[in-house]
A and B are shown apart, each in its own frame.
Chain A
């Protein structure tokens, strides 16, 4: 059986098609975790850890991105399983965790002896040991290794995959991306929020992060760069959203460590239909969305009244690039095109 899966790398606004060969009913993604750098609008270059989509485990032909590539599992009759082959090119062990999805081949969790790097147990805490610390929610992929993570019954909706190993540090470094269960909605916008505190990233990159080192926890995390889809204004261009007489789905993700409050100006109230992949019984009509750390929210713009560009920004006013006096941060616009001639007939059955 030959299948062609199209992955829309929403962050790159480009389409990438994968050819999956074989009889497996799973959707397989070959992710590679590796260090790279990102450049902020003020020219600051920051070391990050990101994910790339490779054509085969360890092939190394994908581009490292932050956020990582958007993964989809169509959830048609056959494809309800997500398989990620994770290749680790980082100096530390890593793993994958998805809040709201059940990993079905989890050989972890992994505990170390205190804060040390010495693994003393997998699967269960050593009996009567109250000092071992969880390092990974799931089995780890060692540096230069490859491991498989599998979710056989993927739930529909919007999710975030991220590092499940020392997540405070590794997520702050950039190891996160979006996952969509179910078919992509034709008129949808991906809005992936995250932050960077360069102090953390530089410490990790320079070997200054860890027990006994200058930076030893994330407690003093204070982000300076505020990103949507990996970019800060003005690097972030308006996002093509759809037409003025269409229902447009906005998928909000927050892999940051802080709460953001996306707000849309000059538009009718959004209908918030789901969070964490779970539909609300009744949609909430709001101007503001509470997007706490790790959360996803799906909202619908019901047939915007007009075409044009409509500002979308973080009402927590993270609108600067490291203190710049000119606008920056979590600010973009939705580009609504002229009305379509044909009125679409689809309903708001977005996630079922």
Chain B
């Protein structure tokens, strides 16, 4: 740590109490999933059936490649395949963190038992950080399941903590680790979390007050009551960035440069252009699919595309626009349908959407009238069209209209 002139009293009052207590590490640690009988195990990106679902994720470390080929050490969550015995998790799931973390999809009303097992950081045996899951934007949360390390317990290495959520509100959310958030989030512990609205389950041919007819299989972003959030295809647009100096300092056990932190690898869904358009998983040094998610958007002309946009950068705001020539219709913000308490329609159209860290938006692109072809989704913050020192990369992907 840097040396500083420091008054005695400020040391007492200011510095010390803010530290998290790191309590004596006992030997008895156990991986333990908690899933009620009759519940369904779910997989990343897929909603399960039934009222109660379970998922098991790890908190650990791993490696990824940036758009310019540079390898980056990271911390993130990984998915534990249902059926793997708890006793094998620590052995099987080291260095299996994915970026983004596994996508959690729920149906409105479902209860989720989410077990997070801290598998430790293989490359940093000197670190004993706990990890947590914070469901960002959860409404009426209680601290015990909010994942904040300050007012709750968090799982030490080798231990599990099971979070319980009743998914009462549909929308585009995300989750992240909240332990030493500036570090653990910069290092990559962020994933998508979407709740599908109950309106999707309405009986066929339900007629809404405005005359819109629900057909079985229709998908909506929210319980809009008028079909205004209907979409044909949905895509994640998770905006993040890595600061290589920070990641390298973490890997090489150097003091972490918090003050100097600047994202140099802006990414969509964990990749910089042109990796964003590669439909295949990107394998890391161990051949593991550490970057499983691409960002290539495709649709048939006339379809409505729902972009589930989130910005989880620890350093930057990012704008996005497209070359489709149709406005982005913003129907949701912060997993809330854009409607006032008095029912006023607050959805709006724009060509450039600004997003700040912690913001999440639902954007509908109506491709009616858009000619077949390849288009782009990119940031108008043009400096972020870079994979660090490499131009024509970064925060951009392609939209193919068939």
Find out whether A and B make contact in their complex, taking CB atoms under 8 A apart as touching.
Answer: yes
Q: For the complex, would chain A's binding face be called helix, strand, loop or mixed by DSSP majority?
A: loop
Contact B352 A292 (CB under 8 A): yes
Whether B233 sits at the interface, judged by CB under 8 Å, is: no
Return the contact of A278 from the options B264, B351, B384 (Cβ within 8 A). Answer: B351
Could you say which residues of chain B place their CB within 8 Å of the CB of A210?
A: 391
Return the contact of A125 from the options B374, B382, B389 (Cβ within 8 A). Answer: B374
List B339-381 residues whose CB lies under 8 Å from chain A.
345, 348-352, 354, 373-374, 376, 379-381
Query: Scoring B residues 176 to 197 as 1 if CB is less than 8 Å from chain A, else 0, what string do you get?
Result: 0000000000000000000000
Residue of chain A at shortest CB distance from B387: A217
Whether A91 sits at the interface, judged by CB under 8 Å, is: no
Stretch binding the partner chain, chosen from B91-99, B139-147, B200-208, B272-280 = B272-280
Could you say which residues of chain A place their CB within 8 Å of the CB of B321?
A: 99, 294
Whether A192 sits at the interface, judged by CB under 8 Å, is: no
Stretch binding the partner chain, chosen from B47-55, B214-222, B305-313, B392-400 = B392-400
A93 → chain B closest CB, angstroms:
13
Whether B383 sits at the interface, judged by CB under 8 Å, is: yes
B244 → chain A closest CB, angstroms:
11
Whether A224 sits at the interface, judged by CB under 8 Å, is: no
List A204-236 residues whose CB lies under 8 Å from chain B.
210-211, 216-219, 221
Contact A293 B392 (CB under 8 A): no
B273 → chain A closest CB, angstroms:
7
List A110-131 residues whose CB lies under 8 Å from chain B.
115, 123-125, 130-131
Taking A135-B392, A166-B391, A218-B382 as contacts, is the C-beta distance between A259 and B374 under 8 angstroms?
no
Taking A99-B380, A109-B374 as contacts, is the C-beta distance between A280 and B385 under 8 angstroms?
no
Could you say which residues of chain A place their CB within 8 Å of the CB of B277?
A: 125, 130
Q: How far apart are the CA atoms of A135 and B348 in the complex, in Å?
A: 31
Stretch binding the partner chain, chosen from A35-43, A141-149, A168-176 = A168-176
Could you say which residues of chain B place their CB within 8 Å of the CB of A54?
A: none
Whether A339 sits at the interface, judged by CB under 8 Å, is: no
Contact A277 B274 (CB under 8 A): no
Contact A294 B274 (CB under 8 A): no
Chain A, interface size category, equals 35 or more
Taking A133-B273, A294-B321 as contacts, is the C-beta distance between A221 and B383 under 8 angstroms?
yes
Residue of chain B at shortest CB distance from A138: B323
Residue of chain B at shortest CB distance from A209: B391
Could you say which residues of chain B place their CB within 8 Å of the CB of A137?
A: 323, 376
Contact A292 B374 (CB under 8 A): no
Residue of chain B at shortest CB distance from A133: B392
Residue of chain A at shortest CB distance from B380: A294
Return the contact of A134 from the options B325, B351, B376, B384 (Cβ within 8 A). Answer: B376
List A289-324 residues whose CB lies under 8 Å from chain B.
290, 292-295
Residue of chain B at shortest CB distance from A109: B374
Whether B388 sits at the interface, judged by CB under 8 Å, is: yes
A/B interface sample: 18 pairs, CB < 8 A: A100-B325, A103-B325, A106-B373, A115-B392, A124-B374, A168-B382, A211-B390, A217-B386, A217-B388, A217-B391, A219-B264, A259-B354, A275-B350, A277-B351, A278-B349, A281-B348, A292-B319, A294-B382
Residues of A within 8 A of B (CB): 97, 99-103, 106, 109, 115, 123-125, 130-135, 137, 166-169, 171-172, 210-211, 216-219, 221, 257-259, 275-278, 280-281, 290, 292-295
